[in-house]
A = this chain, B = another copy of it.
Amino acid sequence: MTSIDAQRLKTDLINLGNIGRRPSGGLGRTSFSAEDAAARQWYFDRCAEAGLEVTVDGIGNLIVSSPVADELTDPTRPAVWSGSHIDTVPDGGAFDGALGSIAALECLRRIHEEGMALARPVRCIVYADEEGNYAHLFGSRAITRGFPRSELEALTGRDGDRFVDTFTAAGGDVDRAANTVLPEGTIDSSVELHIEQGPTLEARGIDIGVVTGIVAVGGGTITLRGRSDHAGTTPMNARKDAGVAAGALLASLPDVAAGISERAVITSGIVTFAPGGANVIPQAAHVTVDFREPTAEGIAALESSLIARAKEIAAEYGLDVDIDFEQSVPPAPLDEQVQSIITAAAEERGLSQVPIHSGAGHDSQNIATVAPTGMIFVPSIGGRSHCPEENTDWDDVANGGQILLDTIIGLANR
């Protein structure tokens, strides 16, 4: 049984975790930013150093292959894909995405170094904009369903920038981006290693989570519209204050989630008042919402309930309301055969494992729509993620990397 180089995996994770680090200690590698470009360049250098070859698809996903391993198989056969992302949320951690990206690279390096003859080619992937600054799970969504050019033109980031401008400035070609869809038969199967980002594995003392499915996710913006007036001369009872109404909406989010299920969650991470002067009553309040529930019925009910609550609050305060939600991503059950291969690998290596559901969205849910797909989770310390404190024990990192390699080989030789 081939082993990964756990020290090399650790060193790479530490080095990548120093790119885009902020004074807070968190990472800021928004997709297509200068920090993201630096991380991608670092990744290119690692691949070159290892003798691996990188291609960049139209949307900016990186696809890595081993010329040595490809010589020893039929490289035109559907490939085993493994990878994750290296972009981060605005003040994120060093493991979310980075672990699965670097571990997949480590696996391909080992296959390359060993000159391993496999029944199928293996590809290592870095998906662009997983954190969805421009669209939810952007890179994997683009290659599985495609974005027409008109949709790309309409995308904007959290800083108000247009995707097409930022993408072009980063060296992208929008014409090519609009046509990036995977040819059928590209992927045989896929497996992604990721930190759990929740407290379950650590709390139960389990080494490996075998992911059974990925939560459904919806989201977008609720805009409440009132009337801007002078903060000093307009009596409280004569106001149409969009900010106060937005407050009522924000405060009610836990109730709306609890009304659907214990597993339903709603988050508002960005709120903007317009016109945005300290002495002006807000005319408009833009409230982003991200809502999740594990079932198709649950996500639909959560969306309806949230819209109903926004309308009730608008009516109560005498305001108008606009709802602008993206189409919800349906729940993604993962492939049972891939789960079996992961479970068998963990048993063989003497690691404890448990089936687990993912409350986070992942590129694997898009890949699952075109090929059998699985995910491996390792514990997150304190369940923390999307924050500077995000952390995973190095032993768990090594375990995850090893089970990933075993699974990739298992899939490639099925």
Contact = CB atoms under 8 A, between A and B. Distances in A.
A396 interface: no
A97 interface: no
Interface stretch (A49-57, A304-312, A379-387): A379-387
Contacts of A292: 231-232
Nearest to A90: B275
A108 interface: no
Contact of A278 (B254, B282, B290, B359): B290
Given A244-B250, A246-B250, A250-B246, A276 B232 contact: no
Contacts of A361: 232, 279
Contacts of A263: 235
A230 B390 CA distance: 10
Contacts of A117: none
Given A233-B197, A276-B158, A383-B234, A91 B267 contact: no
A132 interface: yes
A269 B250 contact: no
Interface string A214-242: 01010100000001111111111010010
B273 A234 contact: no
A244 B235 contact: no
Contacts of A26: 275
How many monomers of this chain does the complex have?
A: 2
Contact of A387 (B227, B238, B383): B227
B271 A271 contact: yes
B228 A386 contact: yes
22 contacts: A26-B275, A89-B279, A89-B280, A90-B277, A91-B277, A96-B230, A215-B232, A227-B387, A229-B387, A231-B290, A232-B358, A232-B360, A233-B385, A236-B265, A243-B269, A244-B251, A246-B247, A269-B282, A279-B290, A279-B361, A280-B387, A281-B386
Q: Closest 6 CB pairs between A and B?
A: A247-B250, A91-B275, A198-B233, A231-B267, A247-B251, A232-B360
Given A199-B238, A281-B386, 16 more contacts: A91-B275, A91-B280, A158-B276, A196-B233, A197-B232, A198-B234, A217-B232, A229-B386, A230-B359, A232-B358, A232-B359, A243-B269, A244-B254, A247-B249, A267-B280, A279-B386
Nearest to A265: B236
Interface string A254-277: 100110001111111111111111
A210 to B, nearest CB: 17
Interface of A: 26, 89-92, 96, 131-132, 158, 196-199, 215, 217, 219, 227-236, 238, 241, 243-244, 246-254, 257-258, 262-283, 288, 290, 292, 358-361, 383-387
Contacts of A197: 230, 232-233
Given A243-B250, A244-B253, A278-B158, A269 B273 contact: yes
Contacts of A198: 230, 233-234
A22 to B, nearest CB: 9
Nearest to A274: B91
A2 to B, nearest CB: 32
A15 to B, nearest CB: 23
Nearest to A266: B236
A216 B132 CA distance: 46
Nearest to A262: B235
Contacts of A387: 227-229, 275, 280, 283
From A158, A234, A248, A288, residue with most partner B Cβ within 10 Å: A234
A157 to B, nearest CB: 10
